[in-house]
Amino acid sequence: MAEYEFIKLESQGGVATLTLNRPEKRNAISDALRSELIDALERVAQDRAIRALVLTGAGAGFCAGGDVAGMRDRMQAPAGEVAFNGWSRQQRVHHAVDLLFRMPKPTIAAVNGAAAGLGADTALSCDFVMASEAASFTWSYIARGLIPDGGGMYFLPRRVGLPRAKELIYSGRKVAADEALRLGIADRLAPADELLARARAWAAELAGGSPTALALSKSILDQSFELSAAQVFAMGSQAQGICYTSGEHRAAVGAFLEKTAQARRGREGGGS
């Protein structure tokens, strides 16, 4: 795998582990880290040998959100450039989030510690969240005079409902791991020393089926709240047409028919 300065990317048994690696900054996302993250996510998406992705953080925290030093630098730009610079940075933020959200394979955030602001949004960009007992979540943007710009206003209501999402975003309060599980922010809890192993095992389990069928199912499911039933059915018909031609489907049908034929021959042989 490629070498990076601010992240680590490794793969074993078809499961890639991407680790945000700025532990001295609680893995806060700087422009440099974001660029590496985008590159790594693109590599993972394109590598067919990788069947699933686990995202975690180095050290005690998962991700402290956006780098405050970057916020300071942004405010020091000439007044006439602040808005466009901010817009340009937002395009990169959303590109990284979108790559994770639309990854055509299962993704699990293994949240090992605090996930704050953009860090909490990044965790919810994954299909599933497994949290350690030391994990916490906070949409603390409001304390910086900001709104959740990393997908939180999209992902959080879909997990906890609109009123609860408003309460968490308006207050910016911290949610401990056990409450996160109750609210649906986290899907599973794990002891801190078993978090990564359990997340990888879950990822391998989720990735055991047809990559083609999984990628197509995910692409439709992720849009289903915004679509009508007729649209979902139509997209499903098109996706199924693709599945009919896939090597995985042909192999599965062939294996089933051969197994059936063997069983029939066994029954016929036993009766003679």
Q: Could you tell me which residues are beta bridge partners of residue 176? A: 136
Of 39, 94, 95, 187, which is the active-site residue? 94
- By the 10 Å C-beta count (0-12 exposed, 13-18 middle, 19+ buried), 257 is classed as exposed
Whether 94 is catalytic is: yes
DSSP bridge partners of 128: 108
Residue 46 amino acid letter: Q
Name the catalytic one among 67, 121, 127, 149.
Answer: 149
DSSP secondary structure letters along 52-106: EEEEEESTT-SB--B-HHHHHHHHTS-HHHHHHHHHHHHHHHHHHHHHHHT-SS-
Residue 19 bridge partners (DSSP) = 8, 56
Asked about 149 being catalytic, the answer comes back as yes
Q: How many CB atoms lie within 10 A of CB 231?
A: 13
Spatial separation of the C-alpha atoms in residues 6 and 23, rounded to whole Å: 9
CA dihedral 257, 263, 269, 271 (to 10 degrees): -130
Positions marked catalytic: 94, 149
